[in-house]
Amino acid sequence: MGRTGYVVVGVIVALIAFILLPGWIKLLGVLLLVGVPTAGYLMLDPSQRRRVRGQARKRLG
């Protein structure tokens, strides 16, 4: 199974979990999905942040 298969299975599992789980667990999951990468980015030095932004621009262009 390629990368696309894993993505499809992940989306299906996430949708099923979103339907079955109680509201506060859904909110906790969304906060973790947003908060963990944000906290990691904020822990970088300014020079490391510039490097990360530069890599993102290279991938987009």
Residue 2 lies in a domain: no
Residue 57 lies in a domain: yes
Q: CB neighbours of 21 closer than 8 A, spacing ≥ 6?
A: 29
Q: Structural domain of residue 47, as residue ranges?
A: 22-61
| pTM, rounded to two decimals | 0.57
| CA dist list (Å): 25 to 13, 18, 33, 43, 60 | 15, 9, 12, 26, 34
Number of structural domains in the chain: 1
Residue 53 lies in a domain: yes
Nearest residue to 29 via CA among 44, 15, 9, 41:
15
Print pLDDT tens along the chain (61 aa): 678 888 899 889 888 888 888 888 888 888 888 899 999 999 999 999 999 888 877 776 5
The HSE-up count of residue 60 (CA atoms within 13 Å, CB side) is 6
Report the alpha-carbon distance of residue 48 to residue 44 in Å, rounded: 6
